[in-house]
Structure 1
Amino acid sequence: MGVTDPAGPVMDRDEVDRALARLGAEHEAIETSLLALQDHAGRRLLEGAELTGVTEERWAATEASITLLWAYFDAYSGALRTAREIRARRRWSSREDLVELTGLLRGESVTVPGAAAAGTPALPGPGRLSQSFSLATLVDRMNELYATGLDMVVAADAVWSALPARIDLLAAELQRTRRLAHSVGVRPGEHPAGDDLERVTRTLTRLRAEVISDPLAFWVPAQGSSAPGGGRPDTTVYDREARALDEVRREIEAVLGVRQDAEQRLIRLRDVLSRADRTLAEARTARGEVLAKIAATEVPVVSGPPTALQEQLATAAEYRRQARWHRLSPLLESLEQKAEDELQRARESLTAVTAPLAVRAELRGRLDAYKAKVARHGLAEDPLLVERYDAARRMLWSAPCDLRVAEQAVLRYQQAAAESLGGSRVPEQGGPEGR
């Protein structure tokens, strides 16, 4: 450690004492920080871990920086100790003492062996470059190295504190889900959920090993943050696998639910398909009646019951008997929707087939309603009304009934009734096809 001539005026005794007090406080703070870094849990873990990747590279550089940091601190401590010894020689320091103290406290008087000239961390040792610093510059260099080292240690520790424990919890949930999957027959190669479980298992195993050996690969620095370790663990892969496991668990729980209520669902399915068959049978009977009673109209053809649904229902029952719940679950869901669709189709078919009968019933009701209205006004024996009523009634109560002609007859009766009652004429309307 050499002493150079001070640049600038010589410090007086008060300035020296104030500088020594400040440097002493800085020395104490730096020593406390260095000891805390030395004892940091993350640092101890880094020293004992088998590191790879980014973390291995950064930890090698950080270890060198910490070594250099202690070398700086030792040099700083030595310079401060020397300055204190000079100041302690006399109560009133001589000018020679003040000149020497000024050089120590303000000049580039502290030489550190092995310090790289450009400021890059280098280890002390034979043949290494040395560099001289002022105490103020040395403090700045120590602060920089400390911040860099602490940032790396805190980041690694934050990842290790957050991710492995969460991965382990998820792995435990994964094992419970695998046991549940096995109980309902969901296995790899037989069901997509079983394949997903295998993939999640492999991913979590690989993720945990990578997090342990290379924690900094899972660290996202905070933009613009100056706090040590400012940032957060990258949980992208973990979150994705957690969502995948949730989806698999819901699917397996659905399969488990199928096991519990499969019989009731099969009974309901048989009932719905039976109602659809009865409705179609009713529609076929009604079609024959319509063809016999209604003339000059198109009657839709009624299809037979779908044999495919009955075959699938038989397959579902076989799956239940064999306890193949993972195959029964999607089949039941599909069948339930198809059965409801089939029942709706049967109802629509019955409605379409019986539409002409509904038209005839509406015309009969309208005819009788006007006859009752005419009777209330004492016109029941009116010859024209009797004639037109009888003509319309013969058409509506005869088979086959021509709905177009019958509707015109009803309209003529309505018109005559309206004229007899003093009302306006009833406008002409189209036949049943235009209604």
Structure 2
Amino acid sequence: MAVAGPTGPVLSREEVDRALARLGAEHEAVESSLLALQDHAGRRLLEGAELDGATRDRWAVAEQLINRLWTYFDAYTDALTAARELRARRRWPTQAELGELTDLLTGARVTLPGGTPSATAASPVPTARLSEQLSLAELVDRMNGWYAQALDVVVIADAVWSALPARIDLLAAELRRTLSLAHSVGVRPGEHPAGDDLEDITRELAALRAAVVADPVAFWTGASPSSGPGGGRPDTERYDRAARALEDVRREIEAVLTVRQDAEQRLMRVRDVLSRADRTLTEARQARVEVLSKIAASEVPAVSGPPTVLYEQLSAAAEHRRRARWHRLSPLLEGLEQRAEEELARARESLTAVTAPLAVRAELRGRLDAYRAKAARHGLAEDPVLGERYDAARRKLWSAPCDLLAAEQAVLRYQHAMAEALAPPAGGTGSFGQGVIDRRGDS
């Protein structure tokens, strides 16, 4: 270590003591940090791992930095020890000793090897300067920078390895349970989309774990740890995507398991719905024959035959259940239930459409009878005009085939005649009964 002359004002005894105390505290802090880095679990894992990618490159530099840090620390220790020994010679140092202490504590008196650690070489890249001289303050600043750089790699690797491999292993265990359930219900690759998805997830988890173990730095997002608390975190995007895919498959497998448990009841319900739809269509066909024979000049929609396609699908579903092909039964049964309900609704709509003319005739008959009862309450049961129009409307409504348009006109004529009969005479002040007597007398 070369000795240089003073480069500034000579420190006083008190200033020397304060500088030695500060440098001593810094020395202890640096030593503690280096020892902590030496014992860090992440560093030990990095030393024994087969690394790749960015982690391999950054760890190659970090290893050089750690070795260089100990070299610098030893030089720092030697310089501090020399300053302490010089200060300990006497209680009141001479001016020459204060000058030498000032030079040791503030001057560029620490000689160190030159060169900068590199990721592309096994050893530091040689520079034109084989050595350099630094002050203790400069030495500490450089050590702090290198320490932060080396610690970033160690902390990132440790954080990623602590967060991801264990979670991947747990997800892989869940994947194995899901695969076992899938095989029990016939969900296999090439036979069911969920089986293909499980195969893809298996490959992805294996590749993800290998990548995380070999290159943890690639799975870090955000700022470096040395930038401050909460500066970054492990990147779990690929893991999260695989977990979501497995959850989707697991729900689908559970749906298939549910089908296995209640398949018979669901098949019975589908048979019942289709049977009701068939009976409704049969009733609609019979009603259509009746309408065509009893209602004239009416357009009656045709009625389709029984849902043979759905019955064929029902038979296929029963065969899947018998042969325990649950992965095929699940989508078929779900669609069959929906189509069976739609078929029943269509059959009911067909029956309603076919019987609409009969409903119209029944409504006209009820209206005619209601008007006749009203006429009787007002003493018009024997009115010849009303009687004639009632008989005409009744003949049209009770004849076969019935002309609904003509029958409706006849009912309206009867309604109008009754309204005229019930109305008081023009300009009269008598009651409804008196008006009826007057109209009869005039006739």
Superposition TM-score tier, normalisation by shorter sequence: over 0.9
Specify the alignment match of 2:397 in structure 1.
Answer: 396
Distance 1:124 1:30, change over 3 A: farther
Specify the alignment match of 2:9 in structure 1.
Answer: 9
User: Matches of 1:174 and 1:332 in 2, distance apart?
Assistant: 27
Specify the alignment match of 1:75 in structure 2.
Answer: 75
User: Matches of 1:78 and 1:384 in 2, distance apart?
Assistant: 137
Listed as ranges, the gaps of 5+ residues in structure 2 are 426-443
Specify the alignment match of 2:89 in structure 1.
Answer: 89
User: Matches of 1:185 and 1:423 in 2, distance apart?
Assistant: 86
Distance 1:40 1:203, change over 3 A: same
Specify the alignment match of 2:106 in structure 1.
Answer: 106
User: Matches of 2:8 and 2:422 in 1, distance apart?
Assistant: 129
Query: Counterpart of 2:106 in structure 1: which amino acid?
Result: R
Deviations 1:216-270 (A, max 9, x none): 1111123898227831111111111111111111111111111111111111111
User: Matches of 2:402 and 2:219 in 1, distance apart?
Assistant: 84
> Conserved in 1, the CA contact under 8 Å of 2:157 and 2:217?
yes
Secondary structure of the residue that 1:111 maps to in structure 2?
A: strand
Specify the alignment match of 1:42 in structure 2.
Answer: 42
Specify the alignment match of 1:276 in structure 2.
Answer: 277
CA-CA distance at 1:75 after TM superposition = 1.2
Specify the alignment match of 2:309 in structure 1.
Answer: 308
Specify the alignment match of 2:251 in structure 1.
Answer: 250
Specify the alignment match of 1:427 in structure 2.
Answer: none
> Conserved in 1, the CA contact under 8 Å of 2:115 and 2:130?
yes
Specify the alignment match of 1:299 in structure 2.
Answer: 300
Please tell me whether residue 368 in structure 1 is matched to residue 351 in structure 2.
no
CA-CA distance at 1:117 after TM superposition = 11
> Conserved in 1, the CA contact under 8 Å of 2:185 and 2:327?
yes
User: Matches of 1:212 and 1:251 in 2, distance apart?
Assistant: 32
Query: Counterpart of 2:91 in structure 1: which amino acid?
Result: R
Distance 1:115 1:132, change over 3 A: farther
User: Matches of 2:382 and 2:138 in 1, distance apart?
Assistant: 128
Listed as ranges, the gaps of 5+ residues in structure 1 are 425-435
> Conserved in 1, the CA contact under 8 Å of 2:263 and 2:321?
yes
| TM-score, structure 2 as length reference | 0.91
CA-CA distance at 1:307 after TM superposition = 1.4
Once the two structures are superposed, the pairs formed by residues 160-239 of structure 1 within 5 Å of their partners are 160-222=161-223, 226-227=227-228, 230-239=231-240
Secondary structure of the residue that 1:281 maps to in structure 2?
A: helix
Secondary structure of the residue that 2:227 maps to in structure 1?
A: coil
Specify the alignment match of 2:419 in structure 1.
Answer: 418
Percent sequence identity over aligned pairs? 74
User: Matches of 1:138 and 1:54 in 2, distance apart?
Assistant: 28
Query: Counterpart of 2:22 in structure 1: which amino acid?
Result: R
Query: Counterpart of 2:113 in structure 1: which amino acid?
Result: P
Deviations 1:291-312 (A, max 9, x none): 0111111000001012111111
User: Matches of 1:223 and 1:92 in 2, distance apart?
Assistant: 48
User: Matches of 1:77 and 1:323 in 2, distance apart?
Assistant: 78
CA-CA distance at 1:109 after TM superposition = 1.3
> Conserved in 2, the CA contact under 8 Å of 1:37 and 1:150?
yes
Deviations 1:283-339 (A, max 9, x none): 000000000111111000001012111111111111111111111111101111111
Distance 1:55 1:183, change over 3 A: same
CA-CA distance at 1:131 after TM superposition = 1.3
Please tell me whether residue 30 in structure 1 is matched to residue 48 in structure 2.
no
User: Matches of 1:220 and 1:129 in 2, distance apart?
Assistant: 38
User: Matches of 1:392 and 1:402 in 2, distance apart?
Assistant: 11
CA-CA distance at 1:89 after TM superposition = 1.3
Deviations 1:318-362 (A, max 9, x none): 111111111111110111111111111100000000011111111
Please tell me whether residue 265 in structure 1 is matched to residue 296 in structure 2.
no
Deviations 1:127-164 (A, max 9, x none): 97211111111111111111111111111101000100
Q: CA RMSD in A?
A: 2.2
Specify the alignment match of 2:348 in structure 1.
Answer: 347
User: Matches of 2:48 and 2:224 in 1, distance apart?
Assistant: 30
> Conserved in 2, the CA contact under 8 Å of 1:374 and 1:380?
yes
CA-CA distance at 1:116 after TM superposition = 4.0
User: Matches of 2:133 and 2:236 in 1, distance apart?
Assistant: 45
CA-CA distance at 1:177 after TM superposition = 0.7
CA-CA distance at 1:114 after TM superposition = 3.5
The total of aligned residue pairs comes to 423
> Conserved in 2, the CA contact under 8 Å of 1:23 and 1:80?
yes
> Conserved in 2, the CA contact under 8 Å of 1:295 and 1:401?
yes
User: Matches of 2:44 and 2:225 in 1, distance apart?
Assistant: 28
CA-CA distance at 1:371 after TM superposition = 1.4
User: Matches of 2:46 and 2:230 in 1, distance apart?
Assistant: 15
User: Matches of 1:423 and 1:164 in 2, distance apart?
Assistant: 100
Secondary structure of the residue that 1:132 maps to in structure 2?
A: strand
CA-CA distance at 1:181 after TM superposition = 0.9
Secondary structure of the residue that 2:111 maps to in structure 1?
A: strand
User: Matches of 1:331 and 1:90 in 2, distance apart?
Assistant: 99
Specify the alignment match of 2:319 in structure 1.
Answer: 318
Distance 1:117 1:214, change over 3 A: closer
> Conserved in 2, the CA contact under 8 Å of 1:114 and 1:124?
no
CA-CA distance at 1:115 after TM superposition = 4.5
